[in-house]
Structure 1
């Protein structure tokens, strides 16, 4: 089972700032989405509204065609794990967190939860407040994936993990998603590290939708041009340059903008190599204004 999301004209204002600004977005079920945005862009507010942590007052959100707020039947199938770990009850043990997941998540998988607890070496008898940051992140991941919720959202919840643990998490997530398809939204700043998981990318900036497309289609909006320095400079003249590197006589320039077929033919004739732009470079370009 997978849940789609339909957001129409969503606006959220706090004193002195608009966190979400007339956002309209439709996400199909059964995909892994990357939700990207700078600090203060509105990502956490958006995910909190989708998860029914607060009421929508301006605009609308439908999950699986239903309003999630105060809808117990629906929200038990929506799981949001935040980096802050604020869903943990004060004084609760790891074992208690897993027991609560088993009780309130109808699709809970004990075997997967235990596998993740073992993988990340989380002590089950320890109080959550006694865990290291990495262990708390691992616990959140275990709860998020083991819930098998048709809509699972992870908001920077794996930042506390070291690099080997993060890569182990990515592998488990992809493996479990393939066996048990659902809608997964990953909000992250580790863009290139996680990009291989994304089927589609949503970029928001200052509460507004900047881009929403298939990952590869989005990356094709620009290109990395590599080859002899003089030829690269000539080829990229007049283009929007996002960055450049040089090693001896070879140069790599990342540009933004569509490169037509005839220009690609010229690049081949000049001995240049074109490849899709790195997602992080594209993100930086699209959100380069000052954050709210």
Structure 2
């Protein structure tokens, strides 16, 4: 069954968890699609896990369009989300539309923008022109130099209130989905209860509409220290296809994320 924005909304309304993994090529796209992963995020995380950069900032729009095309060739049913890379959308809504159009033409069904309420006008501009938007709040990796590192967001009352206001403003602007990264589980749950659209969490606890992980993290491939919210599904599964199916099952039945994966 072809997954659409309406499919994701229905899943969230029925209390069924949405599954998402990052994906960068046709072979993985076919594997994830076969396992029933509803949404494939062609993330600018490819800058770190594929290109070896120390952040997502060097990734270009051309990089993203290339990988979206690859994923689109491998996926038959999943909804494909293309990440808007650093510098491709912050200047103006018009710049964002031109960039988003390239990703949609490459095969994306939705684009993802980092940033809070200040991105509401850009979000509305895109949505009004036929481009579904996934908003990304909390820890936004393109702002790593502003944050001073990859830190949990929303721990203070003021910061939590700001993130809640961001989520409401973006949903009001027409975002089809809100992704929250590295925020306390209680905050993510409260935001999910307030919004009319699905929420996706990564390091945001279990009380969200769905979960996302970087595919290389959940397969135990990416070197270095693992983030608290990461679980390696490979040891028990024994194969890539098995690990992906185990991830889908764990998200669907609520066993992932567990308490040790939350803030």
- Please report the TM-score for the alignment, with normalisation by the length of structure 2: 0.36
| Larger RCO of the pair (alpha carbons < 8 Å, separation 6+) | 1
Larger proportion of helix: 2
Of Structure 1 and Structure 2, the greater strand share is in 1
Rg larger in structure: 1
TM-score scaled by length of structure 1: 0.34
